[in-house]
Amino acid sequence: MAGLRRTWNLERPALERAQRRRAKELAQLAPVVPMLAVVARAVDEVASAFGAAIDPVELLTIGDSSLSLADLLSWIDGFVLSEGPHLIADGGREGVEIALLPTAKLLHDLVQTALAAGHGCGNPRVETSWRELLRALEKVHGSRVR
């Protein structure tokens, strides 16, 4: 028992320093979380605008790929509501730099491709919602981890 106490007393300061570093790192990453919420709201607006404008959102694809607009919106929604927050909480700075930011950039580029391909359907509400989604994703992938 004395050996365990001695080991604890020796290792405790290092553990406490590591906990403080982790808390500081998570505090620095905290601003990314509200950005993800903004993206989620923008996805809802795009889906709503499309629903009001046209029906076959499932049939429209991005560029030469088989990725439909519905699939893209679903991917973005899942990313910002589930995967992104987990990357921040579990992966910290590395999770953000290695996975979150590059994925946000990829999703941004796919939205940009959809917009450039005319998937706004000439509908001002749809085009505006796409542009809002594009801006929200741009803020996420453009954010810098300190």
pLDDT band at 56 (very low <50, low <70, confident <90, very high): low
Which has the closest alpha carbon to 45: 100, 139, 143, 124?
124
- Highest-scoring range by mean pLDDT, 12-26, 46-60, 126-140: 126-140
Give residue-wise pLDDT tens across range 59-105: 567 767 788 888 888 999 999 999 999 888 888 888 888 999 999 99
Q: Can you tell me the mean pLDDT for 108-119? A: 83
In DSSP notation, 70-105 reads HHHHHHHHHIIIIIHHHHHHHHHHHHIIIIIHHHHH
